[in-house]
Structure 1
Amino acid sequence: MIDSVQRDSSLLVHFTLKLADGSTAESTRNNGKPALFCLGDGSLSEGLENQLIGLKVGDKHAFALESEDAFGGISPDLIQYFSRRDFMQAGEPEVGAIMLFSGMDGNEMPGVIREISGDSITVDFNHPLAGQTIHFDVEVLEINPVLEAANADPVG
């Protein structure tokens, strides 16, 4: 049994993400449901994974990551401009609203309405936390947890 987080570990954690102003962006403690992180699968930034490696069950770790190591910087390429006509079926958008858009590949992607100016609507497809320093508070609950779906023991 592995007693510390490795580069290919799965781990069950409680976490809280706070912004520079101290406001909470997300927390698993609010709903009481821990999150499953899988290191090495590309879903977490390298900076975040590096902070988790070596932690043990029960460890609590608080740290901050600059935007590049957290959710990335803001990419101007992900800010798009639409005509108000493009929203006729969806209804009148509001600044700050998150809407789903169909990408060229047919997948849906969320975009935040940033500005409405005359006939032009600015939509930001960057991650909502992109460009921000994020303060993490992580508690490791389990390392390589046995998942319900993988609970079948082979009979030999």
Structure 2
Amino acid sequence: MKDLAIDKGTRVKLHFALKIKDGDVVDTTFDKDPATLEIGDENLPENFEALLMGMKAGDHAAYEVTPEKAFGQHNPSNVQSFKRHEFSADMVLEPGVVVSFADARQQELPGVISRVEGDEVDVDFNHPLAGRTLEFEVEILDVEPAGPTH
């Protein structure tokens, strides 16, 4: 099975690293157990899955992923202003703090406080990696047909 190429309907065991270009490591499995995912199971964004297509066990590659193919450009209209009293009184409100809201469908929507000034609190709902060019490194350990786990 070592020659099976990654495609829809395959289960892949891999090591990966996601880094900000010329910067910090966001996430990696190279120093722990490998990840296993099924192509199309939405564990990996579609554009990242597309990079894996055709790779086989033993392949090792690194890709540069632009913001458009990763988490989009930073969108200023995703930064919302709130009044201080809209948050609970005991909540720490300072830049960098993650706050969770519920959207119209009651799904959890995390935001990061970007500015606190007087009674104004700005919350950024962009993905934390929006606007960043990323490096995606992968090492494919195993590729097998997806289906019931044995």
**Measured at CA, do residues 108 and 47 of structure 1 come closer, stay the same or move farther in structure 2, by a change above 3 Å?**
closer
Q: Judge which range, 67-76 or 5-14, deviates more.
A: 5-14
Consecutive unaligned residues in structure 2, runs of 5 or more: none
**Measured at CA, do residues 54 and 28 of structure 1 come closer, stay the same or move farther in structure 2, by a change above 3 Å?**
same
Contact 1:100–1:110 at 8 Å: present in 2 too? yes
Identity %: 37
Counterpart in the other structure of 1:139? 139
Distance 1:110 1:90 in 2: 19
**Measured at CA, do residues 36 and 71 of structure 1 come closer, stay the same or move farther in structure 2, by a change above 3 Å?**
farther
**Measured at CA, do residues 122 and 36 of structure 1 come closer, stay the same or move farther in structure 2, by a change above 3 Å?**
farther
Q: Judge which range, 46-55 or 110-119, deviates more.
A: 46-55
Counterpart in the other structure of 2:77? 77
Q: How far apart are 1:46 and its partner, in Å?
A: 4.1
**Measured at CA, do residues 80 and 8 of structure 1 come closer, stay the same or move farther in structure 2, by a change above 3 Å?**
farther
Q: How far apart are 1:90 and its partner, in Å?
A: 5.3
Contact 1:45–1:69 at 8 Å: present in 2 too? no
TM-score (norm 2): 0.84
Partner AA of 2:5 in structure 1:
S
2:61 maps to 1:64: no
**Measured at CA, do residues 84 and 50 of structure 1 come closer, stay the same or move farther in structure 2, by a change above 3 Å?**
same
Distance 1:132 1:37 in 2: 24
CA RMSD in angstroms comes to: 2.4
Q: How far apart are 1:94 and its partner, in Å?
A: 1.8
2:8 maps to 1:7: yes
Distance 2:98 2:38 in 1: 27
Residues 106-136 of structure 1: CA deviation (Å, up to 9, x unaligned): 1212111111111111111111111110001
Contact 1:111–1:123 at 8 Å: present in 2 too? yes
Counterpart in the other structure of 1:127? 127
Distance 1:144 1:78 in 2: 40
Residues 59-95 of structure 1: CA deviation (Å, up to 9, x unaligned): 1111101001112222333221111111124513121
**Measured at CA, do residues 69 and 90 of structure 1 come closer, stay the same or move farther in structure 2, by a change above 3 Å?**
farther
Q: Within 5 A, what are the aligned runs for 1:103-118? A: 103-118=103-118
TM-score (norm 1): 0.81
Distance 1:123 1:75 in 2: 12
Distance 1:76 1:145 in 2: 43
**Measured at CA, do residues 146 and 33 of structure 1 come closer, stay the same or move farther in structure 2, by a change above 3 Å?**
farther
